[in-house]
């Protein structure tokens, strides 16, 4: 029997000063020395801003996404730390779009690229602090947070099989085996488009199945979780079982972005023996005869038909076109409108060729 959708994730992370966090929560300004005086502030283009991180013009994004597709970003900014990020956003012309990007695990960047500053958090944002709660930088990998928590006898095991980083997990309310970020999240730290720092309680994010109400352009830098106590050996054993189940049912060795479409049922698979597979995305795709369907180098995985894979040098155009063809045919066959779980961003290449759909008998592993 086919397992349900993958356990998900998008955006980038650090563990800023705790005292400053509380001050911000009470509405007081988080003081720092900004290179731009409020009195003399003028909007700047990215190349005019002095940064301590890395700013790269016309950066191809294909190497930064799991599907290995994507044209160039106008600019890629990798801030050194939270203050570097805040100063940059404060100085940046407000007319310049900003797109926070995590590790690219749940993302199609179109072949024409992104007309924006793409912000990708790195080492300055991947700290993990463990006490009665777990505080993780937004760039910390979900699996790493789960392992470190288990080492300390704290249970965030549901994160172990979720690809991506904590920032994206928060933004998309990632979940696996019936547990979601919403079940554990206490609060986040995020930087808005003007460079202002906010502490946002989980309740304000209105977390739901694969979505949140985090405003566009706001960059998550840190998240704090409740993590129940548990025996480290038992927690690690549970994660090993989760990994074995995932590897048996999902194309983990292929280039994919995880689950392509949200389950029409409105919740992820529980992994339990009594889990119903009715209204699961993989099920309706399979019933529409689209397991293994291809367009050029893009394919719906023969192993798990809700995984869109780059099987042979696919373009973003081919991947998105195949996904849209699947949506059309499932709607015709079942009257169900599948909703994308993968985020698609950027500009398409005008006049790009779209290959014909290829159907064929495929084996179910």
What is the pairing mode between strands 185-191 and 175-176? unpaired
Residue 316 tokens, joined: 């973003």
Strand ranges across the sheet with 298-300: 256-259, 307-310, 298-300, 294-295
Helix, strand counts (H, E) of the chain: 7, 17
Q: Which member of 165, 256, 259, 268 is catalytic?
A: 259
The crossing angle, in degrees rounded to 10, of helices 232-249 and 142-151 is: 150
- Verify whether residue 210 is a known catalytic residue: yes
Cβ atoms of 142 and 9 within 8 Å: the answer is: yes
Q: Could you give the angle at the alpha carbon of 221 between the alpha carbons of 156 and 308, nearest 5°? A: 65
DSSP H helices, the chain, are: 18-25, 82-91, 142-151, 166-171, 232-249, 281-287, 316-334
Q: Which member of 222, 254, 325, 341 is catalytic?
A: 341
- Verify whether residue 22 is a known catalytic residue: no
End-to-end CA distance of the chain: 10
What is the pairing mode between strands 107-109 and 343-345? parallel
State how far the Cα of 61 lies from the Cα of 159, in Å rounded to an integer: 26
CA distances from 23 to 86, 111, 170, 195, 196 (A): 17, 43, 23, 16, 13
State how far the Cα of 157 lies from the Cα of 20, in Å rounded to an integer: 30
- Verify whether residue 193 is a known catalytic residue: no
3-state secondary structure of 203: helix
Burial class (CB in 10 A: 0-12, 13-18, 19+), 31: exposed
Q: Which member of 154, 210, 291, 329 is catalytic?
A: 210
Q: Which residues are catalytic?
A: 210, 259, 341
């Amino acid at each position: 029997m086919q397992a349900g959708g993958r356990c998900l994730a998008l955006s980038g992370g650090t563990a800023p000063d705790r005292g400053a966090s509380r001050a911000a929560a009470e509405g007081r300004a988080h003081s720092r020395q900004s290179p731009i005086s409020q009195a003399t502030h003028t909007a700047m283009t990215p190349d005019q801003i002095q940064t301590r991180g890395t700013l790269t013009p016309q950066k191809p994004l294909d190497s930064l996404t799991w599907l290995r597709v994507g044209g160039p970003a106008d600019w890629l900014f990798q801030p050194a730390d939270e203050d570097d990020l805040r100063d940059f956003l404060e100085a940046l012309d407000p007319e310049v779009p900003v797109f926070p990007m995590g590790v690219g695990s749940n993302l199609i960047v179109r072949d024409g690229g992104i007309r924006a500053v793409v912000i990708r958090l790195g080492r300055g944002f991947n700290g993990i602090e463990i006490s009665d709660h777990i505080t993780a930088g937004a760039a910390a990998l979900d699996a790493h947070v789960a392992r470190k928590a288990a080492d300390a006898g704290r249970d965030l095991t549901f994160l172990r099989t979720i690809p991506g980083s904590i920032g994206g997990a928060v933004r998309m309310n990632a979940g696996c085996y019936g547990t979601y970020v919403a079940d554990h999240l206490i609060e986040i730290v995020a930087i808005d488009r003007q460079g202002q720092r906010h502490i946002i309680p989980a309740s304000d994010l209105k977390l739901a199945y694969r979505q949140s109400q985090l405003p566009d352009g706001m960059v998550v830098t840190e998240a704090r979780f409740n993590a129940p106590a548990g025996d480290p050996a038992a927690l690690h054993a549970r994660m090993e079982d989760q990994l074995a189940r995932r590897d048996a049912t999902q194309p983990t060795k292929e280039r994919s972005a995880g689950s392509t479409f949200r389950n029409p049922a409105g919740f992820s698979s529980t992994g339990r023996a009594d889990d119903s597979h009715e209204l699961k995305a993989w099920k309706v795709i399979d019933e529409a005869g689209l397991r293994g369907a291809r367009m050029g180098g893009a394919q719906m995985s023969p192993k798990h038909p809700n995984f869109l894979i780059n099987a042979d040098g696919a373009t973003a155009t081919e991947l998105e076109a195949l996904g849209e063809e699947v949506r059309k045919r499932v709607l015709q066959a079942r009257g169900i409108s599948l909703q994308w779980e993968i985020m698609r961003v950027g500009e398409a290449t005008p006049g790009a060729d779209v290959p014909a759909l290829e159907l064929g008998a495929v084996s179910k592993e």
